[in-house]
Amino acid sequence: MGPKSERVYRTIREWISTGKYLPGAKLPSERALSEELEIGRTQLRQVLAKLVAEGAIEVHGRSAYRVPDMAVSVTAPTDLEPWQIHGERILYDNRWVKLTLADVEPPGVERFEHHVVRLQHVAIAAVLDDQDRVLMLWRYRFVPQSFGWELPGGIVDPGEDPAATAFREVEEETGWRPEALEHVVTYQPMVGMVDSPHEIFVGRGAQLVGAPTDLEEAGHVAWVPLADIPGLMSQGELMGSGTLVALLHVLASRAAGAPPTAAA
């Protein structure tokens, strides 16, 4: 695609990722899009065809388009009770980790004390290029005493938007500045005992702006083919749950014919 088509492509993707057009919503007509985006109908149809092929939009009726409906069939049970928390006392606390004992009472069970580890809130980003490669770091981690591939990411500062964290960490650790990032999922890596929200972002396109500035976290920077990810996974060379969750999301989206930045 040419520069104008690429601009329109990214604009429509941004409309969808930011919620301007929600799942199930109908896009404006081709004529309205052509006028609003200042692009010819032929070029616009090429952009729309690419978005349809990626699963970002779907054809609805004659020459009409809409955002795919992300509805699910399963419903959550409503007849279960949450645990009661009667209190919590701190055993250890510093900048990196807090260890507490919570006084809890599950339904129908006697009260007991449960250890809780509270860690930092983090954001992790999978940045893809137009050759289906993902931006990664080869790092040494002293806790498992091994090298492995990781996605860039880091701690969300107090009051900081996790998306801003993801942009900042990618640039600091790799020297590449992402063109756009979309939030795909928030999860807890060890939900039974550890509280550490992980925010996963996925985007496509980045600009090299310099050398990495976070020398403690930076490692060998490389664009790794997505085709290599299953093999690296089986060899145990992908480290960290955030890296695994983000890359599995990308691979699953590709297998399902959806864009890798579709909301999870």
Residues 6+ apart with CB under 8 A from 46: 1, 5
Compute the average pLDDT of residues 27-51.
91
Tell me whether strands 153-155 and 176-178 are parallel, antiparallel or unpaired: unpaired
The pLDDT of residue 95 is above 70: yes
Q: Torsions phi, psi of 196, nearest 5?
A: -155, 85
SS3 12: helix
Q: 3-class SS at 96? A: coil
Predicted confidence band of residue 103 (pLDDT cuts 50, 70, 90):
very high
| Bridge partner list, 178 | 206
Residue recorded with tokens 């979309």: 182
Does the pLDDT of residue 215 top 50, yes or no? yes
Averaged over 154-169, what is the pLDDT? Answer: 95
CA distance 184 to 203: 10
Contact 192, 177 (CB under 8 A): no
| Candidate from 54-58, 135-139, 180-184, 241-245 with smallest mean pLDDT | 54-58
In this prediction, residue 260 has a pLDDT band, given cuts at 50, 70 and 90, of low
Return the pLDDT at 56. 84
Arithmetic mean of pLDDT over the chain:
90
Share of the chain above pLDDT 90, in %: 69
Q: Which residues pair with 147 in a beta bridge?
A: 140
pTM score, two decimals? 0.74
With contact defined as beta carbons under 8 Å apart, do 167 and 153 qualify?
no
pLDDT at residue 258 tops 70: no
Dihedral sign, CA of 178, 179, 184, 186?
positive
Q: Please report, to the nearest 10 degrees, the dihedral formed by the alpha carbons of residues 225, 135, 182, 262 taken in order.
A: 10
- pLDDT: which is higher, 242 or 1: 242
Axis-axis angle for helices 41-54, 3-17 (nearest 10): 50
> Model confidence at 256, in pLDDT bands (50, 70, 90)?
low
Model confidence at 175: pLDDT above 70: yes
**Sequence-separated (6 or more) residues with CB below 8 Å from residue 58:** 52, 65, 66, 67, 68
The end-to-end CA distance of the chain, in Å, is 28
**For the purposes of burial, counting CB atoms within 10 Å of the CB of 155, is it exposed (0-12), middle (13-18) or buried (19 or more)?**
middle
Task: Report the pLDDT value the prediction gives residue 234, as an integer from 0 to 100.
Answer: 94
Q: What is the mean pLDDT of residues 164-169?
A: 96
Q: What pLDDT, on the 0 to 100 scale, is given for residue 259?
A: 54
Contact criterion met (CB below 8 Å) for 261 and 17 = yes
Q: Please write the tens of the pLDDT for every residue from 20-34.
A: 888 888 999 999 999
pLDDT digits (tens, 9 = 90+) for 224-250: 999 999 999 999 999 999 999 999 999
For 241, the enclosing helix (H) or strand (E) is helix 241-255
So what's the pLDDT on residue 75? Answer: 84
Q: Enumerate the H helices of 70-207 as residue ranges.
A: 162-174
